[in-house]
Structure 1
């Protein structure tokens, strides 16, 4: 993506996060209490002064009961039925080494989506809660290997393997290396 496109998406994301809080009538203090994210960080996120990490965005998605894809789709225009490679939104979290491509973004009337994830060797991302309790996921590893912990059980998933589950609790994605991992996630909302 071009820098001006990334900045535009980040600005719309900041606006959407502020709107979601306002829709619920929550103060920054209330959202901080619900999310475990400091009031100052939330304020800076909503003003677009900082970009959220995958972990922060995951916590906010859980509080707002949205998948990350749904939240990001809310700041994008309506996706067409055919999503070209060039039209697939890509989000980078440089801090964690996570790259997320929305291959088949959420679409009105559809319950599923497809996401491509890439983690650099050594990357480790933990989510406290699922964005939507009972979220169904099918994770198919395309290259490399990843350790996925879902609801307290850790699985090593290698190229060609598929892990499937409904997520009710915490989760963690860790790329043990030495190579990066690339995987597809098929998400089905309950």
Structure 2
């Protein structure tokens, strides 16, 4: 019963929050949802029970879906509990949900100096890649160039240039963002970053 009251309160907050975010008065939302301002006021304040036949027009007026209006606020939809994935010289943790919004994947990687390097480990794929160094120094092999990226700095580059990220003088931890091609190449290919 308490969980039902929590969900009920959350729905009321969402309705009020969405209305206020649009700069609408109760009268404006009432006109758009074909409900009376007094009914909407009682719904928002908890003095009236929420009925499904009222939520559908409210959701439509607020340009959202009924599912989004009533979705659970369980922390499972917020908290990501990454699992480590190991390969020689590389441990990676996926920090975004699969098929995330905008087609990007966020991952944390720990690279050690014993990671295989050399021309045969350079990758090429469509898109762009970005990473920032959390600790240590990263060695970016980018075509014929070797670029050292220190802790606190970031790199962004076209992935059509043969590339690989390694560790320089000790382990390095990076936070990286891949597009769809980068994810398939680097996280599912079990090869070099």
TM-score between the two structures when normalised by the length of structure 2:
0.47
Q: Which has the larger radius of gyration?
A: 2
Structure ranking higher in strand proportion: 1
Structure ranking higher in helix proportion: 2
TM-score between the two structures when normalised by the length of structure 1:
0.48
